[in-house]
Structure 1
Amino acid sequence: MNKPIRVVSVFCLVLFMALLVNATYLMYVRSDDLSKDPRNRRIITATFSRERGAILVGKDAIARSVPSDDKYKFQRVYSQPFKYAPITGYFSWYGQTGIERSQNAVLAGDDSRLFVTRLVDMLSNGDPKGGNVQLTVNAAAQDAAWEGLENLPGDAQGAVVALEPTTGRVLAMASTPTFDPNNFASHDFTEVKDTSDRLNADDRDPLINRAIGTTLPPGSTFKLVTAAAAIESGNYDADSMVPGGYKFKLPQSTTEISNHDGGNCGGNRITMTQAMEVSCNVSFLSLANELGTEAMADQAEAFGFNSTSLEDLGGQAKSLYPRDMDPPQTAMSGIGQSNVTATPLQMAMVAAAIANDGDVMRPYIVDEVRAPNLSVLARTEPQSISKAISSSTAGELTKMLVATVEVGTATPAQIPNVEVAGKTGTAQSTPERPPYAWFVSFAPANDPKVAVAVLVQSSDTSRDEIAGGRLGGPIAKAIMEAVINR
């Protein structure tokens, strides 16, 4: 073989080897990335041409795929878009959020549990279909949560979570402002991008599910955790005397903290029940200072702080109780200020644990996963995360919270002929913005069916009228009634 032919042969061999290496790289190394790349139109066409499974609340499909008259064959439709968008999320040509994302394998029909279904479809030459996801949501409770947020004055921002205390089932989860996921499901991809750009640029953050994605100071609702830590120490019960008075001087500081109304909570020494009824800052500042950071942090973590647990919705933002707080910060943490932050879900978990004799149940929103023929592939079983407090402590706290609804700051949550346990909270922010209003509750107190947390982050309410009871109490009441009366 002469030299020119040899050179050409070697060159062709190198090109052939390069082609093999590139093909191997694309098929085995980059395959996942390429299949998920939003610019891969083959994947887009295949995905939109498959009948995606439904997301169900009761018997109603709040998200489903219907035949379309374009090349993509199916159109994703959300029947009650704004009310359920924080839960369902959206299904789009460039990604998914919410349940559409966390349960994508099932809904798209790619889950290994649907192998037999896919095989049957292939052998029968039928079109592949996705599985269905049944949610735990109570439609009446969700309606009450959504309507409550919608009725807040002005362009409000807030969130609501309702849990079934004994199981951890999410009965309601609402957030405002919200968005229309139908706009993301459009087959006009330019329009989808414009929608995404507009909503992501909105400083109200409508794409965030505030129920699990927003952490803010929980204010006086955190006094439940402080009271729990005090009773668990063995030195206190509902009738124990605690400091009252007008002011508390922070340790290692000249700063004095007053009560929210400037009063003395009824005296220099009051019962813990009275301290809860009037939401006495001095009492809970004193208790947190006495208990110390370690005991307070241990109790907070027992309720779920510093961790995440809502696995079937991708996890919630961590509610934080830092373990490195100094004495002044620890005292302030006793009233839900300082560096303490919580999601509405976390505060609902605190209320639910008290209602459930101290057991913290893992929250979940996916009840069942079903095949296209509606056969059940999997069912979520309730799971206890921790024993946050003893049954006796839970009983003492319940007595205090019932009194707070009967004669204290939480009276807006009263339900005729039903014993309700509840607590208000008003958390200070910065001098430039109004406080955050919180409300937590559960009912019936003697046989709890529902625990609720309400956060009103902002609304067109004058600063001196912002209070957890006034803004959040009626919303919590409506949700509790919806569950109890179903």
Structure 2
Amino acid sequence: MEEPGAKWRAYQESLKRPQKKTSGQKPETRGQKPEKGEPLRLVASARKRSVGRVRQVRSSIRGLSGDLGQARITAISWLSRQKEIRSPAVIIFAVAACLVVIGLVAAGLVALPGRGEMVPKLPHDGWNRSQARLLLGDAPVDTWTEPEKIRKDGRSFMVTTTLSQGLQERMREVINPRYARWIGFAAMDPFTGRIIAAAGFAAEGETEHPVFTHLYPAASIFKIVTATAAVDLESLQADTPVGYGGNKYTLYKNQIRPDSSAQTTQVALKEAFGGSINPAFGLIGAYVVGREKLEDMACAFGFGRRLDMEITTAPPVCPFPETGDDFGVAQIASGFNRTTLMTPINGAAFVAAILNDGVYLDPSIILGVTDGDGTLVYESVKKEVGRVCSSATAAEIRKMMGETITGGTARRLFSGYSRDPVLSRLDLGGKTGSINDGVVPNIRYDWFVGYGIAPSGNRALAVASVVAHEKFIGDRAAHYAREAFKFHFADLAQKAGTVP
């Protein structure tokens, strides 16, 4: 029979033995706590925390916590050996470790698999978009010029994108990174939801994708949301007179008063939209539409929701102020804030909804996936998310977007288009946006989202481009949209043997 206390004495003796040291070996850091400020919040004040960063931090936290079930079992095991390990500090640590892991899971910072559960494997066929996303993740699909071979789970797949290689190559050629930190461009077929071009630039050291995962301040692009809410929910029309006072491009509290004394100038809604008049849209958002309806319309346009695409994207965010903060609502409605964030893919989807008579589509960038046997396991199909507005409302918004080109903020950027052999035949519309000093200092964000529609009406292109200019202003966002319209519709005409 074993002598009583033998295990305890053996344990005490083991503690006295010198521990082996390995030269140059760094101490284990797995148990280190994340630095303060590290918890994940995809909110406006943290634009640089991209989806890739989120995955890195979550991975780090998973490494810290391990499997919940295993942590619980380990803690119980430690507690059950109180006769062998009598240190209260060890017992307290065990309980604390278990509670920390449970807290992380409850907070949603750690996603742990079930007991004995493996990472999901791809089915043999019949994939949906989320399953295609398991295969592709953040793969650089915009760089593929032909079907790409990928291996996963011991299987080979051939992936074909929806990109138009002609337009894709053209946009890569024209993108000029001089004076820019970021450039993002996306083009979408509004009737199918297919992305046909996605090109961009990110300065050295930047890790987020400039089209899919980098979030930019939306600026006045949000006026599309406000205008849609005003027309669809409050029966305003493109020609409805709206009032404002003071400078067109400022937004002060004394400009956002509901009494008529603050509204010394009257213009048509389409002129306020085309000219991007901040106080007019601030008043509409705060007192005509109101916080609740404006927030509902923002959700209809996809804010707060990640696009269901075949690759990873960042969800656009729009944190609304507390109830009763009319000026805060006015800031959001006019785009005069730096907390409403979106990607170029979101911008293209906004425009596509207006061209698609108010029906919002989730974009698609993968045409199909076949396995090693040639079996089609995934095929892109149009995905309608819902209706953001009526077809009549969409028609009114197109009138306003047309005003931006003919007499608004994009008039000079599209100067001479009526003499261009391609552009002159198109129905053009858009919305500009700009704001200084966003989350990254000394940056001027410059947006253009818009469309071109062929005379036949059955061919259209929805685009979104954004440039983050640094010290000097380089090529403007509208320049890239104009180049895309010219190339795309000329290419279509050449292939069809007709004029666009």
Give the TM-score normalised by structure 2.
0.61
Q: Which residue is equivalent to 1:288?
A: 285
1:477 maps onto 2:482 in alignment: yes
1:269 maps onto 2:263 in alignment: no
Question: For residues 459 and 249 of structure 1, do their structure 2 counterparts lie closer, same or farther at Cα, with a shift above 3 Å needed?
Answer: closer
Distance in 1 (CA, whole Å) between partners of 2:264 and 2:463 is 31
Aligned-partner SS, 2:212: helix
Aligned pairs for 1:377-396 (under 5 A) are 377-396=377-396
Aligned-partner SS, 1:334: helix
The CA RMSD over aligned residues, in Å, is 3.5
1:443 maps onto 2:452 in alignment: yes
Q: Which residue is equivalent to 1:434?
A: 443
Could you tell me which of 123, 135, 138 is aligned with 2:161?
Answer: 135
| Shift in Å, 1:175 | 2.3
Aligned pairs for 1:363-442 (under 5 A) are 363-372=363-372, 374-411=374-411, 412-413=413-414, 414=417, 415-430=423-438, 432-442=441-451
- The question of whether the paired residues in 2 share the 8 Å contact of 1:285 and 1:334 is answered with yes
Q: Which residue is equivalent to 1:458?
A: 469
Question: For residues 233 and 29 of structure 1, do their structure 2 counterparts lie closer, same or farther at Cα, with a shift above 3 Å needed?
Answer: closer
1:336 maps onto 2:335 in alignment: yes
Question: For residues 248 and 163 of structure 1, do their structure 2 counterparts lie closer, same or farther at Cα, with a shift above 3 Å needed?
Answer: closer
Distance in 1 (CA, whole Å) between partners of 2:378 and 2:441 is 50
Q: Which residue is equivalent to 2:228?
A: 228
1:170 maps onto 2:173 in alignment: no
Aligned-partner SS, 2:310: helix
Aligned-partner SS, 2:171: helix
Question: For residues 155 and 242 of structure 1, do their structure 2 counterparts lie closer, same or farther at Cα, with a shift above 3 Å needed?
Answer: closer
Question: For residues 320 and 419 of structure 1, do their structure 2 counterparts lie closer, same or farther at Cα, with a shift above 3 Å needed?
Answer: same
| Shift in Å, 1:385 | 0.6
Distance in 1 (CA, whole Å) between partners of 2:375 and 2:410 is 45
Q: Which residue is equivalent to 2:297?
A: 299
Gaps of 5+ in 2: 3-113, 122-137, 257-262, 418-422, 492-500
Q: Which amino acid aligns with 1:437?
A: D
Q: Which residue is equivalent to 2:101?
A: none
Q: Which residue is equivalent to 2:357?
A: 357
- The question of whether the paired residues in 2 share the 8 Å contact of 1:141 and 1:482 is answered with yes
Aligned-partner SS, 1:397: helix
- Could you list the per-position Cα deviations for residues 309-364 of structure 1 after superposition, in whole angstroms to 9, with x for gaps in the alignment? 143102x2111122444322110011223332111111111111001111111111
Question: For residues 171 and 267 of structure 1, do their structure 2 counterparts lie closer, same or farther at Cα, with a shift above 3 Å needed?
Answer: farther
Could you tell me which of 165, 170, 173 is aligned with 1:147?
Answer: 173
| Shift in Å, 1:174 | 1.6
Question: For residues 254 and 425 of structure 1, do their structure 2 counterparts lie closer, same or farther at Cα, with a shift above 3 Å needed?
Answer: closer
Identical columns (%): 25
Q: Which amino acid aligns with 1:480?
A: F
Question: For residues 279 and 447 of structure 1, do their structure 2 counterparts lie closer, same or farther at Cα, with a shift above 3 Å needed?
Answer: farther
- Could you list the per-position Cα deviations for residues 206-263 of structure 1 after superposition, in whole angstroms to 9, with x for gaps in the alignment? x311212122221112111110010012330101011133248999x85658xxxxxx
- Could you list the per-position Cα deviations for residues 73-93 of structure 1 after superposition, in whole angstroms to 9, with x for gaps in the alignment? xxxxxxxxxxx9843689xxx
Distance in 2 (CA, whole Å) between partners of 1:309 and 1:439 is 20
Question: For residues 337 and 304 of structure 1, do their structure 2 counterparts lie closer, same or farther at Cα, with a shift above 3 Å needed?
Answer: same
Q: Which amino acid aligns with 2:468?
A: Q
> Which deviates more, 408-417 or 360-369?
408-417
Could you tell me which of 301, 306, 309 is aligned with 2:307?
Answer: 309
- The question of whether the paired residues in 1 share the 8 Å contact of 2:309 and 2:365 is answered with no
Aligned pairs for 1:88-99 (under 5 A) are none
Distance in 2 (CA, whole Å) between partners of 1:459 and 1:374 is 48
Distance in 2 (CA, whole Å) between partners of 1:456 and 1:280 is 21
Q: Which amino acid aligns with 2:483?
A: A
Distance in 2 (CA, whole Å) between partners of 1:141 and 1:246 is 43
- Could you list the per-position Cα deviations for residues 121-161 of structure 1 after superposition, in whole angstroms to 9, with x for gaps in the alignment? xxxxxxxx722001001112212332332x24335412111
Give the TM-score normalised by structure 1.
0.63
